[in-house]
């Protein structure tokens, strides 16, 4: 960078045209997936007995997996 003196005795920095401008790497689109889940037995302690009363699994709450 070149320095140039002003009338006020302070220096002003000017960019040197011979210095290459910074280049940035361009990456392809990236998809980041994050999941969070709770264990069923933490939320519904008796879920096994309640959801298998007929011998087949049946979800009794919207937060449970449906067939």
Q: Does the reported pTM lie above 0.85?
A: no
Strands 2-5, 11-14: pairing is: antiparallel
**Residues near 57 by Cβ (< 8 Å), separated by ≥ 6?**
51, 67
**Residues near 17 by Cβ (< 8 Å), separated by ≥ 6?**
none
Task: Measure the CA–CA gap between 67 and 49, rounded to whole angstroms.
Answer: 17
Per-residue pLDDT of the chain (67 residues; tens, 9 = 90+): 555 555 555 555 555 566 666 666 666 777 888 888 888 888 899 999 999 999 999 999 988 888 7
3-state helix, strand, coil in the chain (%, to 5): 15, 10, 75
Residue 40 is encoded by which pair of tokens? Answer: 């069923």
């Amino acid at each position: 960078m070149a320095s140039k003196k002003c009338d006020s005795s302070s220096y002003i920095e000017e960019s040197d045209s011979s210095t290459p401008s910074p280049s940035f790497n361009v990456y392809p689109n990236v998809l980041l997936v994050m999941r969070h889940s709770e264990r069923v037995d933490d939320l519904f302690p008796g879920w096994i007995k309640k959801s298998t009363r007929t011998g087949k699994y049946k979800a009794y709450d919207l937060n449970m997996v449906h067939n």
